[in-house]
A = this chain, B = another copy of it.
Amino acid sequence: MDAAEFRRRGKEMVDYVVYPDVEPGYLRSLIPEEAPLEAESYEDVVKDIERVIMPGVTHWHSPYFYAYFPTAHSFPAMLADMLCGAIGCIGFSWAASPACTELETVMLDWLGKMLKLPEDFLAGTEGSGGGVIQGTASEATLIALLAARSKIIKLIQTDHPDRSETDIISKLVAYSSDQAHSSVERAGLIGGVRMKKIPTDSKFSVRGAALQKVLEEDRAAGLIPFFFCATLGTTPSCAFDCITELGPICNAEKIWMHIDAAYAGSAFICPEFRPLLNGIEFADSFNFNPHKCCSLIHVISHLISLQHWQIPLGRRFRSLKMWFVFRMYGLKGLQAYIRKHVGLAKEFESLVKADQRFEISADVVLGLVCFRLKGSNELNEILLKRINSARKIHLVPCQLAGKFVLRFAVCARTTESRHVREAWSHISHLASELLQELRH
């Protein structure tokens, strides 16, 4: 498959329905029950891609895909992936593949500079900070929590050498927003520590006073607060925890502040969105998933050995993707990409606002619009069901303050203004049908 074919196939793919029309278990009956004894030809395998795989694929890169959040996809990233596969090294130590370790360190510094992270998040030539690519944001959060756990245990044992690790762990408590991603709660489960959710304000944002209150209660109850995971750009509504308030509290209370900016982080490369990251100077670690690089990344400081910056020991040569993407887009190209998506979301927002039957459910800051029909949750549930059953576009819902809300996330690289307008006219049409039915 060469570049020309990639392009051609990419265009074909746009013609697929965005959301597949299959039932659970559809695939098993389409292929043999066992691996073949004799080798098959490449042609046979390729034929089956169309027959077996494509009917069951949700097309994340269709311009009609508005569900979840965007995932990475770009021509340079795919080329880099091929090179990564061809080199096929496992960079679990410097010697196992020096270029793999070194390019990653430098690329994470490039990224840190693009985001204007504080100096101590960079490796530089003799820095103590730096970044490392993680498989997913879930792993980044887990690693941050484990690092914080290890740090607090050492700190306590310095003063109380007879206190056992398991005894200390049994008193630890970690915190996150009540809007935080489920992976944060899971990090607590894996690490075997208590995890509490801090209530958010009317903008779905954790404020300093809310954290302070819980900290005081927990200290009074003999617990040891040690970790706060702030979210910049929550999954339901892209809300931002107030880290300029939360950071000083965490620093004063010796609580590790981790910032999970999985979705929103990419936008901080644009000067107009960088203020959303103000407060980073109070953080101990930070992670986000760069758009268009496919890999998910995390930048962390204060950890001692690079070897312990991730769960798996083996690692692929993933920084090649960043190198290819950064160079073949350039910072300006990446900024333009972000701005286009935010612009499309703003366009969708104004279409919704112009329709009196609908309401906007949360501030539109980046590429996500949370909206709903004015009225009951049931009404909105039916609308969403009809939208997804029609298979023309694909959305997923969220709950905001007890309300069932539709999420419109600008995802694909190929999404243009005409797709957004088409999507809105489709939603609006289905809403009209639904409301008319209900009137009868």
Interface on A for B, CB 8 Å cutoff?
1-2, 6, 9-10, 13, 20, 22, 24-28, 31, 33-42, 44-45, 49, 52-61, 68, 71-73, 76-79, 81-83, 85-90, 94-100, 102-103, 105-106, 109-111, 113-114, 125, 135-139, 142, 146, 149, 164-167, 169-170, 182-183, 186, 190-192, 194, 294, 296, 311-314, 320, 323-324, 326-333
Contacts and interface: CB of A to CB of B under 8 A. Distances in A.
A111 to B, nearest CB: 8
Given A20-B99, A27-B103, A45-B76, 9 more contacts: A1-B79, A25-B125, A71-B88, A82-B82, A166-B170, A166-B192, A167-B170, A190-B311, A311-B311
Given A90-B68, A170-B166, A44 B82 contact: no
Contact of A192 (B97, B102, B109, B169): B169
B25 A58 contact: no
B85 A40 contact: no
A56 B88 contact: no
B138 A35 contact: no
15 contacts: A1-B79, A33-B109, A34-B114, A35-B331, A37-B332, A39-B328, A57-B89, A57-B97, A57-B98, A57-B99, A135-B312, A139-B312, A166-B192, A183-B313, A296-B314
Contact of A312 (B72, B82, B114, B136): B136
Q: What secondary structure prevails in chain A residues at the interface with B? A: helix
A385 to B, nearest CB: 13
Contacts of A106: 27-28, 31
Given A77-B85, A97-B57, A135-B312, A36 B166 contact: no
**Number of chain copies forming the complex:** 2
Which A-B residue pairs are the 8 nearest by beta carbons? A56-B99, A166-B170, A136-B312, A27-B102, A39-B330, A192-B192, A56-B98, A35-B326
A138 B308 CA distance: 12
A327 B36 contact: yes
Nearest to A9: B86
A90 B77 contact: no
Contacts of A79: 1, 42
Residue of A41, A45, A59, A100 most packed against chain B (CB within 10 A): A45
